[in-house]
């Protein structure tokens, strides 16, 4: 009996799911969404007819979202906005969310209907891909997203998750070399990243100069296999080659995490209390390093550098406890990536016609040292999203 009941229960579950699906689908959802889709197809085919003329004469840097050209039915469709990130507890990542909110203000200005949400992977590849697929499915093609893949290896799966339902996505920071936006045209619109090699190099130079070009250093690297971690370390190695009197006495990954950095530096300090500087691949780890130095009574005596411009490290730079950090401008990354995807979704931007250097490009970054820290602290982001490629660095 029991067995039969459970079989029936299972069967019923499936039947219910399918029945509900069957009732719901043809009745409203697909039909109402399908219609505008057909119109979309028409408008997108019409649009490029005007576009190329513009595109040929002008640089894409001058490409403008002309709100008056956006079809009214697009403006009336609810567009779903998301940023897919590792965890909002990281201050840098929180600025990406603010970037989305800034872009949402722009959408308010032009009368676009939208809803926005943060997809938090909590550092899990599987969850990030599932989140994206579910988000895309909900929006049914009317979605744009910024994604910071948790690891290189899932960049394609994330873009694919979005492409399957016809939305538009821009990725940042991490992706493998052998895949890119061209593999999923038009849905994978762009991949951008600040130049990690240069950033790693610049902070290393700032640190070594503060040490007068000599002495011992510790190195805290980012998560193994992250493009950002690998390239920042590359930049460090370039700088090390230029400063032969700098000696690396401890080098390991702290997985971008404060707690791991704290433990590593504490251990290393026991062996090398005379260390002169600590190079950290991000500011979260720099925070851990500073805590370890504080415990050992060495804060302010040992130079620390990081990347991301977290508030506490920027303050440490201002007070002289840290030497330098880099602002990758998460506001700009989040906001402009969505703006470019928006242009693609409205049909104003023909992704297929977009040249390669506008599909993968670097976004600007600022090295913050004692000299310009005051200027940075008074910075408030103010962007013109109608020129979405204004975020290209070079």
Spatial separation of the C-alpha atoms in residues 88 and 103, rounded to whole Å: 18
CB 157 → other proteins: shortest distance, Å? Answer: 5
Tell me which stretch binds other proteins (CB under 8 A): 22-30, 258-266, 344-352, 386-394.
Answer: 22-30
What is the helix (H) or strand (E) element at residue 228, kind and residue range?
helix 227-242
| 98, 137, 298, 318: residue in contact with other proteins (rule CB under 8 A) | 137
Spatial separation of the C-alpha atoms in residues 332 and 103, rounded to whole Å: 10
Nearer to other proteins, 67 or 137 (CB): 137
Nearest to 342 by CA among 82, 58, 48: 82
Nearer to other proteins, 143 or 323 (CB): 143
| 356 near other proteins (CB under 8 A) | no
Nearer to other proteins, 3 or 49 (CB): 3
Q: Where are the alpha helices (DSSP H) in 25-154?
A: 30-57, 72-76, 91-110, 125-139
Nearest to 220 by CA among 153, 292, 149, 317: 292
CA 289 remoteness from chain centre: 24
Asked if 268 and 236 touch (Cβ cutoff 8 Å), the reply is no
**Contacting other proteins within 159-198 (CB under 8 A):** 164-165, 176, 178-179
Nearer to other proteins, 58 or 134 (CB): 134
Q: 201: which residues sit within 8 A by CB, 6+ positions away?
A: 235, 236, 238, 239
| 159, 172, 210, 223: residue in contact with other proteins (rule CB under 8 A) | 223
- Give me the 224-263 binding string for other proteins, x by CB under 8 A, dash otherwise: xxx-------------------------------------
Report the interface residues with other proteins, using CB under 8 A.
2-3, 5-7, 9-10, 12-13, 16-17, 20-21, 24-25, 28-30, 33, 115, 117-120, 122, 124-127, 129-131, 133-140, 151-154, 156-157, 164-165, 176, 178-179, 223-226
């Amino acid at each position: 009996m029991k067995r039969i009941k459970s079989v029936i229960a299972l069967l019923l579950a499936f039947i219910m799911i399918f029945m509900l699906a069957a009732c719901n689908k043809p009745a409203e959802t697909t039909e109402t969404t399908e219609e505008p889709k057909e119109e979309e197809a028409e408008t997108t085919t019409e649009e490029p007819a005007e576009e190329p003329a513009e595109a040929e004469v002008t640089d894409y840097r001058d490409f403008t979202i002309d709100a008056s050209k956006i079809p009214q039915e697009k403006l009336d469709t609810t567009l779903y906005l998301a940023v897919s990130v590792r965890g909002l507890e990281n201050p840098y990542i929180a600025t990406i969310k603010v970037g989305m909110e800034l872009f949402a203000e722009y959408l308010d200005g032009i009368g676009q209907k939208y809803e926005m949400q943060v997809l938090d992977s909590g550092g899990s590849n599987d969850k990030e891909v599932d989140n994206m697929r579910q988000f895309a499915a909900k929006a049914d093609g009317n979605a744009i997203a910024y994604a910071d893949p948790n690891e290189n290896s899932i960049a394609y799966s994330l873009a694919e998750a979005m492409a399957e339902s016809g939305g538009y996505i821009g990725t940042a920071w991490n992706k493998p070399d052998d895949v890119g936006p061209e593999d999923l045209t038009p849905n994978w619109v762009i991949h951008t990243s600040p130049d990690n090699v240069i950033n790693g190099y610049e902070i290393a130079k700032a640190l070594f100069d503060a040490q007068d070009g000599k002495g011992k250093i510790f190195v805290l690297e980012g998560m193994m296999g992250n493009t950002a971690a690998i390239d920042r370390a590359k930049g460090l190695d370039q700088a090390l080659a230029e400063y032969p009197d700098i000696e690396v006495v401890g080098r390991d990954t702290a997985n971008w995490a404060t707690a791991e950095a704290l433990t590593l530096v504490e251990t290393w300090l026991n062996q090398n209390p005379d260390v002169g500087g600590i190079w950290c691949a991000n500011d979260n780890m720099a925070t851990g390093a500073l805590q370890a130095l504080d415990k050992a009574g060495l804060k302010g005596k040992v130079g620390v550098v990081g990347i991301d411009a977290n508030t506490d490290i920027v303050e440490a730079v201002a007070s002289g406890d840290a030497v330098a950090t880099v602002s990758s401008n998460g506001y700009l990354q989040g906001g402009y990536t969505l703006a470019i995807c928006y242009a693609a979704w409205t049909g104003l931007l023909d992704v297929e016609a977009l040249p390669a250097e506008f599909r993968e490009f670097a976004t600007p970054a600022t090295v913050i040292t004692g000299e310009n820290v005051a200027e940075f602290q008074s910075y408030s982001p103010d962007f013109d999203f109608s020129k979405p490629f204004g975020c290209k660095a070079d």
